[in-house]
Chain A
Amino acid sequence: MKRYIKKSVFALLFASLFVGCTKDFEEINTDPNNVTDVPTAYLMTNAQRSILGNRFNTTCMLYSQHWSETQYTNTSRYQTAEASFNSYYTGPLADLEQIIAINTDEATMSDATASGSNANQIAVARILKVYTFQLITDMWGEIPYSDALKGSESFKPTYDTQDAIYASFVTELTEAAAQIEVNAAGMEGDIIFGGDMAAWKKFANSLKARVGIRMTEVDAAAAKSAVVSGLAGGFTSNDDNALYSYLADAANWNPIYNHFLTRTDYAISNTMADYMAAINDPRLPVYADPAPNTGTVVGMPYGVSDAESGSITNAEISFPGAAVRAAESPGVMQTYSELLFIKAEAAARGWISDDPATVYEEAITASMEFWGIDAAATADYLAQEAVAYDAANYKKSIGEQKWVSLYMDGQESWSEWRRLDYPELAPAPAAYQDREIPRRRAYTQNEFDLNEENVTAAVARQGADDMDTRIWWDK
């Protein structure tokens, strides 16, 4: 009997030993597939690529009538109100926030300098955050801003009003420009300026001018102050442009190139093509290829029904030009030409002493140069009556020419149309339920599912959650 008890106890002890060990659990549960530490440069590369990847460039080009849809004409007929801003936050903004955190936390900031000086990294991240947040707020209106990107501290961020967001943009850009150390190590992993901190400083100022000009209708004083200060340190030539370079490999292709590999959904719109053709704009053959049937640029009728668009063949219309839909065609973030249009408007408003007509022509010239038009053709173009600056209606002159020059920067073009109300665009003839051109996009079901209280409060302040409600600066 004793023998058996001994045996049993031995067996139990054996079993306990065999399962009891938890010493190696921590090692077993260490993820071998992902890293816990990466240079901030890698995050910056990802953030920049993902900003471009998240933009609603095509949608906005359809709203501003640069392009038309060729078959499924839903977006250009304003069918869907909802759009999601989620991946802006989980994508580039989360990465940028982490770059700032790593460069601020005393435990990590010293190691982080391998990717550039702490101040320079923080500055670049702040500038790109403003650029991104402006895309978001200009599309939806009120958005989570000051309470956003805080992870478990706030899983349901509150929404900020746009006046507060815009005020913060100005502060952020001013501080970011000030903290740039041109002579210290620049940002590594930087696709846009290759770590050239002087270029970042100019971009911060140019962006401040963009932020400022947006406020003209609602806070002229703030607008003036931001524009004037931004212009002073902004771009000085097309060499300073903020462009995102796409590459020849599939993972880094320009998405428009990728689209046209398999589909042909977008053509230049008749609105754009007709306007440019009427004033002999030399950029038109760059913007679009000739239609095979006619050998000339023919715009696709904008916003027509599926029945109508279905009867128009691809041979009858003009698709975007080779220059804008190559694999390596750059993504436009902000150009010298845009800054000059802001300057022209500042001059027209009397905020600066320059002659608005001159600056207006400089702006057009910079755009011509950007699109590869020679000086002679530019001069011929500027000599036309229809192109000349109209001091009596500067909004029309600047609005129309800025609209043309902002080709491929869909959202800026749509925003400036909303602010200036020029060019005079007619809504899609076959708009769903006779809708007008959208003034904003609506929040998604997902946001109501996950952050109902705050998004509902924002809607209550801002107005109906549809595409007709005008956002703060759109008066």
Chain B
Amino acid sequence: MKKIALIMSFLLLLGATVANAQTKMVSGTVTSSEDGMPIPGVSVSVAGTTMGTVTDIDGVFTLKVPQDAKALLASFVGMKTQTVELGEGSDYAIVMEPDLVGIDEVVVTALGISREKKSLGYSAQQLTGDDIAAVKDANVVNSLSGKVAGVQVTGSTGTVGGSSRIVIRGVNSISGNNQPLFIVDGTPIDNSNFNSTGTQNGGGGTDWGNSAADINPEDIESMTVLKGANAAALYGSRAANGVILITTKKGTKRKGIGVSISTGVNVTTVALLPDYQNEYGGGYKQSFDTYEGEPVVNYAADESWGPKMDGTLVRQWYSWYEDDEDYGQMTPFVAHPNNVKDFYETGITTNNNVAIEGGGEGTLFRLSYTNFKQTGTLPTSELKRNTIAFSGSSKLTDKLTASASMNYVKTKNDGIPSQGYSGVQGNVVTSFNQWFQRQIDMDKLANYKTADGVDRTWNISSPTNLHPLYWENPYWVINESPANLQRDRVFGNVSLKYDVLPGLTVQGWARTDFYNDRREQRIASGSIPQAWYQEQVRQMEDNNFEFLATYTKNITSDFSLDANFGANKRVRNYYNNTASTNGGLSVPNFFNVTASVDRPSITDYKDKKVVNSLYGSASFGYKSMAYVDVSLRNDWSSTLPEGNNSYLYPAVTGTFLFSELIEDKSILSLGKVRASWSQVGNDTDPYQLAVTYSSGNNYGSYPAYSVPNNLKNADLKPETIETVEFGAEFGFFENRLGLDVTYYDIKSKDQILGLSTASTSGYSSAVVNAGLITNKGWEVMLRARPIDKEFTWDVVVNWAKNNNKVVELAEGVDNYVLASWGPSINAKEGETYGTWVTDGFTYNEDGERLVDEDGYYVRSTNQTYGSYLPDWTGGVTNSFSYKGISVSALVDFQKGGQLYSVTNRYGEYSGLLASTVGNNAKGNPMRDPVSEGGGMLAEGVKEDGTPNDVYIEAVDYWKAMRNYRENYLYDASFIKLREVKIGYSLPSSLFANTFINGVNVALVGRNLAILHKNIPNVDAESAYGSGNIQGFENGQHPSTRTMGFSVNVKF
């Protein structure tokens, strides 16, 4: 109650400054001096204030300005900022001239307020819709890769609809969410990822994607990345990891109805496959066994330590199938170097959007339809997404405006493959890269079942038993046992806004993000595992009811004030109903839970969370030179115990533009320092307070319940994240050179986490308040325009380094296991988050590996080997433009981070990779017997310091290697040619007398080349989910490369 009183008095103080101010509406069009075309996305603001707007697709803006406002500022990236004196009129034509990389830009900030970027006391970076939509990536998260300093995007490899993780300024939470909050037009968008732990650590599962991927790039007007926690006062603790603030395109006041049509086609191909050996085929020994006098392949072996592929005539697997043309025949045992490559297809993506918009007196609307369809490189995989977006507003009276914005998204993702080591349906890639026979001819597998519907596989049990042993025909798996996802989503808001008096408005919103997510997984009858069907239906409702009062006032000609007071009630309901069959299907291939032979397994789960909030903020400006923002928020969360469920958190930022003190701006055109401090409180998930029992399957008529493995805690308190940030921005030589440097220091403490405990305590985890994690880092953004003639060249470099440290965990606990599959990733006291612990080699004082008397490396267990988090990340964009043609190329990079590769581990164990063939140190084939000069020599020294001289058989060497997992931890550094875009705007003179207003064509390419990496055979980026479990590579589908073109026509 004390806190409420505090907020109330804070706000009343603001209210007291309410005075009689007048405003008026101004509008206008912004065009380019180069071609006279309207420019969308131009920031228009009132000089000396934080009030502003952005021009629409036709370059039109309307803006309410104080009666006493002197001038408008129009700014746009690459254009000179224009100052337009305000006179009596209300309509202004503004002509923009090309300039250097803009530093006077206006950005959309929290609560959708447009502000001059130079007035911000924290780091924010804005991307335009074109930056995002041009690349046509299915997952909007991927479009941010390399473009914003301090933003790390880890994409999944080659499956359509896979997850991408985004983290800003490192990891703050030990066990909770570390991703930023997505806000679309003020509505928080759920970005849940329901991937299982098994999926994420590569043990096996299905990557269903992150749900923010539903956001349609075509409807995005601009995207602002608010990096710090400062926005949290306005969006609540969910924004503690930063905010991705998306503003969608809106209708604008114009003559008639505007139509824009855009279409794009992309082609996706497999970009990277492991380097396979093509000398030895399937088997465990280099000779063939015989069956009834004929040499036979060891069909049961899913390894390639077999005979040389020298063309020997043998009975291959298909020769036992009566329907095969080679039935009963011996065929040459030869390599098929492209067998895996042949399995993949060329994926096609088409993206079509049509939007109509218009507006008259008092009414504005935009309606857009987007059809997105993507087929993957993996046969049968397909993603379809249809989006309808509507936004409109109407002035009901002089003072009352009603608005609505609605998005309906239907996503259908079919043929989602199993991933990881042992996915439910079987992962074909695990077979190809870890358990395979190199001589297999993919063409022979294409006919994957017999006329009777029986799986035809290479991994048959024996000539007399054609039942699949461990691996099915890969085509059988993807055709007969597909997984599908379907999600129907509605998000948007309705609002009423009332202009109480000039400068003071009150507004109320009801917002929703609602979706129904349905997943079906099956194992076809006749597969190796028992036939099975599972249906998961989830429903998520995140409703926010919001109230906001806004007050803007130029107190004197030098002082301005913007104040907000808001209240929010968030109600989140989540439901999960999952049912799966047990004991097989009563009718073969009848995929329905009712076909379960035994009692089906059921999950019936729901949870609810309510957070009530009050907040206020105020910005003070002095002479466009100094700004101070303060904010305060109090949350009440249902998830915390009574007595601890109310928490208050403040933020302060300050900005000083010292360049305003210098008259001559020819050298230093902008000089700014900024500082901010903020604190954010955070709650937890529902039901963390009281012990409950979990139910298991009945034993006959006996119900079975168990004591849960997670010990709850009735004394939880809120978490706290404290951030201090300093920044400086400079513009030199009339802004042809710009530099933006930020330093931050984030401390997160009292984290609510499910601490792993020694299971011998009876519990494997316990909910506690504990820990301190720090993130300190630098972000640098450098912009330059080396050439500024008719031909222009711009360079933008961004670079960020984050130092993460787990300072302390709970009392008496110094390690927290995040996940393990073989190696574990840990939050270890004194180390970086995500530190690997596993087994490896043993080294002597000189750093040489020790080898035992039998010729094997001496193994060490419980060793620590670096973190999956990178040391630094960044990107370089070069853009060139000449007479309507623009070319840009983005190269992004990551230094450091450790990736554990099971593909390399088992690819070598099974003798599939090229590293398992070739010559040994003696110059003889390593696979020859040691007795004949072959074998492998472990590189190291014996205990007495002399070099190892004991050769061991190659198969033993490589098989033993899997127990030194250090060998399969790799540096995940990379440099990638991420994006190339060539655009051309046809001269407007071509359509002078037509109804066409403009035509743009573009050629785009994504993930074009890996310029450098240190990990063999697989991609250094291999996310299996968007959660904190990262760094496991295990049977990921191969990375892809995308190229395409798009055409955009405006009428």
The chain A residues found within 8 Å of chain B, CB to CB, are: 1, 4-5, 7-9, 11-12, 14-16, 18-22, 24-26, 28-38, 41-43, 45-47, 49-50, 71, 79, 82, 85-87, 89-91, 93-95, 97-98, 143-144, 148-152, 154-157, 189, 191, 247, 249-252, 261-262, 264, 305-307, 310-311, 313-315, 433-434, 445-451
The chain B residues found within 8 Å of chain A, CB to CB, are: 4, 8, 11-12, 15, 18, 20, 283-285, 289, 298, 300-301, 303, 305, 461-462, 464-465, 500-501, 504, 506, 528-530, 545, 547, 549, 565-569, 582-583, 597-599, 601, 604-610, 612-614, 636-639, 642, 645-646, 686-687, 689-700, 702-709, 711, 755-764, 766, 812-813, 815, 817, 820, 824, 826, 837-839, 854, 856, 861-862, 955, 963
- Cα distance, A47 to B702, chains bound together (Å): 12
**Distance in Å: Cβ of A441 to nearest Cβ of chain B:** 14
- Cα distance, A1 to B502, chains bound together (Å): 12
Instruction: Establish whether residues A50 and B597, one from each chain, have CB atoms under 8 Å apart when the complex forms.
Output: no
Task: Return chain A residues, CB-CB under 8 Å to B566.
Answer: 15
Given contacts A7-B500, A307-B284, A307-B305, 6 further A-B contacts (CB under 8 A): A5-B15, A11-B506, A11-B547, A71-B300, A86-B764, A155-B757
Known: A19-B567, A28-B638. A4 touches B501 (CB 8 A): yes
- Cα distance, A81 to B705, chains bound together (Å): 33
Known: A36-B690, A42-B703, A155-B813. A90 touches B709 (CB 8 A): yes
Task: Return chain B residues, CB-CB under 8 Å to A50.
Answer: 706
A contact patch SS:
helix
Instruction: Establish whether residues A315 and B462, one from each chain, have CB atoms under 8 Å apart when the complex forms.
Output: yes
Question: Which 10 residue pairs of A and B lie closest in terms of their CB atoms, listed nearest first?
Answer: A34-B692, A86-B759, A251-B697, A15-B567, A19-B612, A250-B583, A307-B284, A144-B760, A451-B758, A31-B687
Instruction: Establish whether residues B758 and A144, one from each chain, have CB atoms under 8 Å apart when the complex forms.
Output: yes
- Cα distance, A89 to B759, chains bound together (Å): 6
- Cα distance, A33 to B696, chains bound together (Å): 13
- Cα distance, A86 to B698, chains bound together (Å): 23
Instruction: Establish whether residues A262 and B529, one from each chain, have CB atoms under 8 Å apart when the complex forms.
Output: yes
Instruction: Establish whether residues B599 and A251, one from each chain, have CB atoms under 8 Å apart when the complex forms.
Output: yes
- A22 touches which of B504, B606, B636, B837 (Cβ 8 Å): B636
Closest to A292 in B: B464
Instruction: Establish whether residues A449 and B826, one from each chain, have CB atoms under 8 Å apart when the complex forms.
Output: yes
- Cα distance, A150 to B606, chains bound together (Å): 30
- Cα distance, A456 to B447, chains bound together (Å): 57
Closest to B856 in A: A433
- Cα distance, A441 to B609, chains bound together (Å): 46
Task: Return chain A residues, CB-CB under 8 Å to B637.
Answer: 25
- Cα distance, A93 to B700, chains bound together (Å): 22
- Cα distance, A144 to B568, chains bound together (Å): 50
- Cα distance, A87 to B762, chains bound together (Å): 9
Closest to A144 in B: B760
Instruction: Establish whether residues A262 and B528, one from each chain, have CB atoms under 8 Å apart when the complex forms.
Output: yes
Known: A16-B4, A46-B706. A445 touches B762 (CB 8 A): no
**Distance in Å: Cβ of A92 to nearest Cβ of chain B:** 9
**Distance in Å: Cβ of B648 to nearest Cβ of chain A:** 14
Instruction: Establish whether residues A252 and B686, one from each chain, have CB atoms under 8 Å apart when the complex forms.
Output: no
**Distance in Å: Cβ of B651 to nearest Cβ of chain A:** 20
Instruction: Establish whether residues B693 and A315, one from each chain, have CB atoms under 8 Å apart when the complex forms.
Output: no
- Cα distance, A302 to B566, chains bound together (Å): 74
- Cα distance, A38 to B708, chains bound together (Å): 13
B contact patch SS:
strand
Known: A33-B605, A42-B702. A18 touches B547 (CB 8 A): yes
25 contacts across the A-B interface (CB closer than 8 A): A5-B18, A8-B18, A11-B506, A11-B547, A11-B549, A12-B15, A20-B636, A26-B642, A28-B608, A34-B694, A35-B705, A38-B693, A41-B702, A42-B693, A43-B693, A94-B762, A148-B762, A155-B755, A189-B702, A249-B583, A251-B598, A262-B528, A305-B284, A307-B285, A451-B760
- Cα distance, A432 to B770, chains bound together (Å): 44
Instruction: Establish whether residues A446 and B547, one from each chain, have CB atoms under 8 Å apart when the complex forms.
Output: no
- Cα distance, A307 to B300, chains bound together (Å): 11
- B696 touches which of A46, A150, A314 (Cβ 8 Å): A46
- Cα distance, A44 to B80, chains bound together (Å): 77
Instruction: Establish whether residues A95 and B695, one from each chain, have CB atoms under 8 Å apart when the complex forms.
Output: no
Instruction: Establish whether residues A8 and B646, one from each chain, have CB atoms under 8 Å apart when the complex forms.
Output: no
Task: Return chain A residues, CB-CB under 8 Å to B756.
Answer: 449-450
- A261 touches which of B285, B530, B695 (Cβ 8 Å): B530
**Distance in Å: Cβ of B440 to nearest Cβ of chain A:** 17
- Cα distance, A348 to B636, chains bound together (Å): 74
**Distance in Å: Cβ of B490 to nearest Cβ of chain A:** 24
Closest to A99 in B: B707
Q: Which of B462, B705, B812, B963 has the most CB of A within 10 A?
A: B705
Instruction: Establish whether residues A31 and B690, one from each chain, have CB atoms under 8 Å apart when the complex forms.
Output: yes
Known: A36-B692, A149-B761. A95 touches B283 (CB 8 A): no
Q: Which of A21, A49, A450 has the most CB of B within 10 A?
A: A450
Task: Return chain A residues, CB-CB under 8 Å to B528.
Answer: 262
Known: A22-B645, A151-B763, A250-B582. A445 touches B758 (CB 8 A): no
Task: Return chain A residues, CB-CB under 8 Å to B582.
Answer: 249-251
Instruction: Establish whether residues A14 and B547, one from each chain, have CB atoms under 8 Å apart when the complex forms.
Output: yes
Task: Return chain A residues, CB-CB under 8 Å to B687.
Answer: 29-31, 33-34
Closest to B463 in A: A313
**Distance in Å: Cβ of A430 to nearest Cβ of chain B:** 10
- Cα distance, A144 to B757, chains bound together (Å): 13
Closest to B839 in A: A445
Task: Return chain B residues, CB-CB under 8 Å to A252.
Answer: 697, 699-700
Instruction: Establish whether residues B766 and A155, one from each chain, have CB atoms under 8 Å apart when the complex forms.
Output: yes
Closest to B506 in A: A11
Task: Return chain A residues, CB-CB under 8 Å to B549.
Answer: 8, 11-12
Task: Return chain A residues, CB-CB under 8 Å to B838.
Answer: 445
**Distance in Å: Cβ of A196 to nearest Cβ of chain B:** 15
- Cα distance, A45 to B695, chains bound together (Å): 11
Instruction: Establish whether residues B711 and A8, one from each chain, have CB atoms under 8 Å apart when the complex forms.
Output: no
Closest to B709 in A: A90
Instruction: Establish whether residues A450 and B815, one from each chain, have CB atoms under 8 Å apart when the complex forms.
Output: yes
- Cα distance, A89 to B838, chains bound together (Å): 24
Closest to B688 in A: A29
Known: A22-B645, A155-B812, A449-B837. A29 touches B689 (CB 8 A): yes
- Cα distance, A35 to B704, chains bound together (Å): 12
Known: A19-B614, A262-B529, A315-B462. A89 touches B285 (CB 8 A): no
Known: A25-B642, A86-B764, A97-B762. A18 touches B545 (CB 8 A): yes
Instruction: Establish whether residues A249 and B598, one from each chain, have CB atoms under 8 Å apart when the complex forms.
Output: yes
- Cα distance, A18 to B611, chains bound together (Å): 11
- B301 touches which of A15, A33, A41, A310 (Cβ 8 Å): A310
**Distance in Å: Cβ of B829 to nearest Cβ of chain A:** 12
- Cα distance, A412 to B289, chains bound together (Å): 39
Instruction: Establish whether residues B861 and A314, one from each chain, have CB atoms under 8 Å apart when the complex forms.
Output: no
- B599 touches which of A7, A16, A85, A249 (Cβ 8 Å): A249
